[in-house]
Amino acid sequence: MKNIIKKLKKITTTRFMWLCILIILQIILFIAMASIFSSRISIALEVLSLVIAVWIVNDKVTDTHKLAWVVPILAFPLIGGLFYLIFGRQKVPNKKNIRFLKLKNELIINNRKEKPEHIDEQQRFVRIANFLEGYSFNRFINTETRYFGEAEEAFTEMLHALKTAQKYIFLEFFIVNFSYMWDAILEILKEKAAAGVEVRLIYDDIGCIDRLPTKYFMELKKSGILCIVFNKASLFLNSYLNSRDHRKIIVIDGKIGFVSGFNIADEYINKLPRFGHWKDSGVYLEGEAVQSLTAMFLQMWNYDKKYDSNFKEYFNLEQTCENTADNGLVQPFCSGPGSYQRLYEYVYLNLIYSAQKEVIVFTPYFVPSGEFLDACKIASQSGISVKIVYPKVNDKWYINLLSRSYFKQLIEENVEVYEYLPGFIHAKSMLVDGIVGVVGSANIDYRSFYSQFEVGVFMYNTQAIVELKTDCTNTLQQCHRITLEECVRPRRLGIRFLASLFRLFRPLF
């Protein structure tokens, strides 16, 4: 009994719990006030709901996204309208968006290189590279690439690379947790900072809200580590609460970079087994393409206000790998609310529609838009093998319930859906025809495509793609293909209703 009381006390005293309680209380208060005065303002509420619905219909977002919000708003005028005002308006404050665009010009466009001459412009995948260049994301060759199909392998390489830093280290993660993994990284960061290496860290406030102390960034500062907590959570409801920094980036001296799907916590490297074997992935870059990661990090570092006056020192470092044998196309990119909204999804859709033989997708969560579902169905009906690999064991039961509700309609269109039997697959990647793909931080869901800041690396004909192809082959051998019969098995009425209810509010997932 004492242990139960101790655990309850620990849970109820966390900042995350208090934030949840305060938000719930504010929602209850809003509904209660509306109910009390419902006789007087019922017409006003109906008019407000209609106005919001018309506003959404005329917005620039997709029809699927519009429908996903209009239905709950009209069905539940109080809750639906409130949720849209808080979570549906996936925009950044105007002054921040203006600064973001200015930084894009200064950091990305001004450091643009000439297009690689030997890349065949007739290749069907070049249109994706051209599309990304339209958003100022440069394409590179002269970059060594390596793919890691397990976070443990990437972590070992990360530690080795961090020890080589001479001038600066940039880290940006959604979650940083007290753990063996963080202790090993932090020890190196402190040593490097003491030796005069510039060390900067960005972590997301919501991502770390129940993992790090509120003032942890001040402790890091004492060790010489500069730190920014992204989008600190407010105790009051606001429309920016849902805009999170979900990126995972490491940059070392502008020469070596990592992009991954995993955070800094022990579950990602299987030192804290909770969901069977945790499979994650990442990609290593060395050479010219790393300068794009440098630009992305500095853009986020200066998101709130101007910290740096001179960016050139971070780009004038001597590049390596000029004569590397890995001369495939490498193109890091990022997405997020505001200027880059849905960019990640556009890349995925472009890849699917460019496929001629096979599409393989790894994702831990699957809450697709109508456009993504249609792309998978059309590709499958065109004779292309579409394979979606999803975890057998999931860390979030409600998202798992919602995700699996889409499997039946996919399988009916001959899309192959697989369960990763060893446990939880947290990797986020897409491989097309075995020669082109993306590895990054985005899930197949509304949060990643609409409201969160994400990062990915588009690659064509690189060593990392060869290794990703091998990993896909090996992973599929550890999977079970879900049949239509398994999808139509009778389920309890309450479970079916809950899944349908979650679909009404799928933009929240």
Q: Which of 245, 253, 266, 280 is catalytic?
A: 253
Q: Which of 20, 19, 455, 447 is nearest to 243 (CA)?
A: 447
Distances (CA, A) of 199 to 166, 370, 389, 423: 11, 42, 37, 35
Residue 246 bears catalytic tag: yes
Catalytic residue among 426, 445, 469, 471: 426
Alpha helices in 244-302 (DSSP H): 290-301
Q: Which of 433, 445, 469, 471 is catalytic?
A: 433
Q: Is 392 a catalytic residue?
A: no
How far apart (Å, rounded) are the C-alpha atoms in residues 163 and 246? 25
Q: How far apart are the first and last CA of the chain?
A: 35
Active-site choice (65, 192, 248, 255)? 248
114 burial via Cβ count (<10 Å: 0-12, 13-18, 19+): exposed
φ, ψ for residue 320, nearest 5 deg = -110, 180
Per-residue b or e along 314-341, where b marks 16 or more CB atoms closer than 10 Å to that residue's CB: beebebbbeebebbbbbbbbbbbbbebb
Helix, strand, or coil (residue 425): strand
Confirm whether 428 is a catalytic residue.
yes
Annotated catalytic residue 480? no
SS3 32: helix
Query: Choosing from 65, 96, 104, 246, which is the catalytic residue?
Result: 246
Quick check: is 222 catalytic? no
Out of 428, 445, 469, 471, pick the active-site residue: 428
The residues facing 251 across adjacent strands are 170, 257
- 3-class DSSP assignment, residue 433: coil
Active centre residues (catalytic): 246, 248, 253, 426, 428, 433
